[in-house]
Structure 1
């Protein structure tokens, strides 16, 4: 059964500039307080012994007061204890973290449609690809090296992607599961129906052909960006040369086909 989407928060503290606050460092200090051993604390937060000491040194350097006092060769391979300032810092962080969690729980209770949360989650994806399509996996055809994954979009269109078997397993792809298809605009070929009498019907090896109506063309010095409306609120963007756009007679309101190979589709899953 698919897990119902919900909001989650990861506390991030930014001092106005520089790198974000490292939550794992506070987890390390908290574990050091409860475990009484740097070895056990490092293991609890999945850090190496050296990485734990490096983090402690960095925190001590960044703090106005010493947070951790150390003595080599103590219990569990190296003695370390939190100073009063260190304990206070951990307590402050836990209080802020708890308040953040209470806020998120209140928001989750007030959200009426959990599907909205899933939609917001998909919008956090940052990529250079112009075309993003969210859908559900209709089928997975497994091969020795590559798998063929068919994605059904909300409007009824389908996109076929060819990915490695390893990628299918890494992404945890399953039938009826959610996935996102990414296609760069430069990977899409545009085509139009030849209306002349006796014109031959072209057959292509590309697995994907999305039919729609040209809604917008933005012309540049060399290339044109063409938006094809697929219906149901979906669209696809392709970049073609100005010469190709002219030769195909592309214009707003004209039918067009967006053609791309299955190997040109990148699949992702919500985090």
Structure 2
């Protein structure tokens, strides 16, 4: 059967599925959490006003979706974007399993960070930032290495050449982290950006733009490297992919359930469960 060198191709009737030709399977695994995390975030913002407990539980689920997105990124990076010198190395073989463990760490730390946020807001924010920064840095290790190889055009990058969309994705990711940490522009003009233009809105816009550029970059790697990657043995087959993703989903749901159970055991008089989300948001802006 003749293979196409393009990224996404239409499949004629009777063409083999993922089991016979699993080349596009990592892309599908990436697309699922890439669609899930904006939906989970929308639900968290929509239903978090129901009660203080509902607010925390909604964001537990939001953090879990983001953790699964970090794992979803690892699948296409391992399949399409790994540097040529890393192919079939120990790091390449353990890249996706390590990303699955990172998703547990990300969900656990981010969910825990909600409990001390009233007494220690700085510690809570630093913990939550680290919870999402670490999986991002790990997932993008292949891109950072390829970027270093090609920096300044000192030599030909060959198959390690990066699409410009990779750079746009990394730039959007940096802007996303900066907006989350800096709380700009509302810190410069308190009260003027409460409804439109505050950092959290810009944060979500940059995150979705980054995911768009990330998808375009993955498609570019799929197309430009397909003829070469077709001769390599895939790191994960269909069964291993489904098993890894299923265990990650179950593990993250278990972590969320454990923190939810802890939250439900807290008495209603606890300061963590006092005040409306609007009051808490105003307090956070003043800190």
Q: Same fold (TM over 0.5)?
A: no
* TM-score after normalising by structure 1: 0.25
Q: Tell me: higher relative CO, structure 1 or 2? Use CA pairs within 8 A at least 6 residues apart.
A: 2
TM-score normalised by structure 2 residue count: 0.24
Q: Which has the higher helix share?
A: 2
- Structure (1/2) with the larger strand percentage: 1
Bigger radius of gyration, 1 or 2? Answer: 1
